[in-house]
């Protein structure tokens, strides 16, 4: 992998180095390979035992962590590296943002200020999507979310077609919402949690907010345009308030408690550097 390829995969204001790829991601995927081979072996033998027609059972990976911690970079980098490692396999990536309720519905329910909290997602639709993928439906559609309009894109879908490996990225993928018989994580064969100190994540969140404002200055249809053309200090103060009342609260109450459910934890420190990893020991 070249520096240019890596830069293309890196999210806005995130950072990752070729050294991280070599020292962290390559060994992590070597470790993943053990699970993937066992997955194929298990389902092949199971289908033979039950006298079922041989078919691919997708291996699903969950990637979780806070807003602005770098989940998307991790997910995209994994997709690229897995596709390189298994060139004959189909590796797909989707985000659970598409299963957020539309802004209009969030307003109707009076929970716009809780966007990202468990109740702001259509969890039934997300579970149904994963069930369709896992049970071999050859083509499954997922709604699409745009950070530019800060809402679900009407009429647009992402189609997932018969993946061998599916990476599902989102803050909610390891959560166990009450009053449900099936959880999103029930469909996962492996999971990763991207972790960092909350004070650092706040810094990265605010950095990203300012960059998004800068990019939106000439885009009236962009959600961040309203902040880009207004008083910058007021906009930053608003973002700090959103972090404290929404994102930090969500992190502490609903996201961090799921960390120990992950199979693999990537911990990041100053400059987005990965300083250590943790592997679940059974």
Tell me the domains of the chain and their CATH numbers.
3-279 (3.40.50.300)
Q: Work out the burial of residue 3: count CB atoms within 10 Å of its CB; fewer than 13 is exposed, 13-18 middle, 19 or more buried.
A: exposed
Can you tell me the distance from the alpha carbon of 67 to that of 212, in angstroms, rounded to the nearest whole number? 15
User: Given this model, what pLDDT does residue 28 score?
Assistant: 95
Q: Does the annotation place 67 within a ligand binding site?
A: yes
pLDDT number for residue 2: 87
Is 237 known as a binding-site position? Answer: no
Check the annotation: does 55 bind a ligand. no
The number of angstroms, rounded, from the C-alpha of 158 to the middle of its chain's C-alpha atoms is 15
- Give the residues of the chain that fall short of pLDDT 50: none
Choose among 275, 124, 265, 242: nearest CA to 190: 265
| Residue 63 labeled ligand binder | no
What is the per-residue pLDDT for 179?
A: 73
The string of pLDDT tens digits covering residues 199-218 is 999 999 999 999 999 999 99
pTM for this prediction? 0.95
- Annotated binding residue 88: no
Token pair 């389902």: residue: 43
Quick one: how far is CA 196 from the chain centroid?
15
pLDDT digits (tens, 9 = 90+) for 145-186: 998 999 999 999 999 999 999 999 999 999 988 778 889 999
68 is in an annotated binding site: yes
Q: State how far the Cα of 267 lies from the Cα of 269, in Å rounded to an integer.
A: 7
Angle made by CA atoms 198, 199, 202, in degrees to the nearest 5: 85
Which residue's structure tokens are 């539309």? 102
pLDDT computed for residue 282 by the predictor: 67
| Nearest Cα to Cα of residue 158 among 80, 98, 116 | 98
Which residue stretches of the chain are H helix? 3-9, 18-20, 26-49, 71-85, 103-109, 123-134, 198-216, 225-228, 232-242, 248-250
Output the pLDDT for position 268: 97
24 is in an annotated binding site: no
Span between the terminal Cα atoms of the chain, in Å = 33
Residue 278 near residue 265, CB atoms below 8 Å: yes
Strand partners, 61: 167, 190
**Any idea what the Cα angle at residue 227 is, between residues 224 and 229, rounded to 5°?**
110
> Residue 66, annotated ligand binder?
yes
Alpha-carbon radius of gyration of the chain: 19
């Amino acid at each position: 992998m070249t520096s240019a390829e890596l830069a293309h995969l890196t999210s806005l204001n995130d950072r990752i180095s070729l050294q991280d790829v070599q020292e962290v991601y390559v060994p992590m995927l070597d470790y993943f390979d053990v699970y993937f081979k066992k997955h194929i072996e298990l389902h092949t033998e199971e289908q033979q035992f039950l006298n079922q027609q041989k078919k691919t059972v997708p291996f699903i990976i969950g990637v979780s962590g806070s807003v602005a911690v770098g989940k998307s970079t991790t997910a995209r980098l994994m997709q690229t590296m897995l596709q390189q490692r298994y060139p004959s396999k189909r590796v797909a990536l989707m985000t659970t943002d598409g299963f957020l309720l539309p802004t209009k519905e969030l307003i109707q329910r009076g929970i716009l200020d809780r966007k990202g909290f468990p109740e702001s997602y259509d969890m039934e639709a997300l579970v149904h999507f994963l069930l369709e993928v896992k049970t071999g439906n050859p083509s499954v559609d997922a709604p699409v979310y745009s950070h530019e309009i800060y809402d679900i894109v009407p009429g647009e879908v992402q189609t997932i077609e018969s993946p061998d490996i599916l990476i599902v990225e989102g803050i909610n993928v390891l959560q166990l919402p009450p009053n449900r018989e099936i959880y999103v994580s029930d469909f996962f064969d492996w999971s990763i949690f991207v972790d960092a100190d909350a004070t650092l994540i706040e810094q990265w969140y605010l950095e990203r907010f300012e960059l998004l404002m800068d990019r939106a200055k000439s885009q009236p249809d962009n959600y961040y345009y309203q902040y880009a053309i207004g008083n910058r200090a007021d906009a930053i103060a608003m973002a700090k308030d959103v972090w404290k009342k929404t994102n930090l609260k969500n992190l502490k109450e609903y996201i961090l408690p799921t960390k120990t459910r992950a199979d693999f934890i990537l911990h990041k420190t100053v400059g987005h550097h990965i300083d250590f990893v943790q592997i679940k020991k059974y």
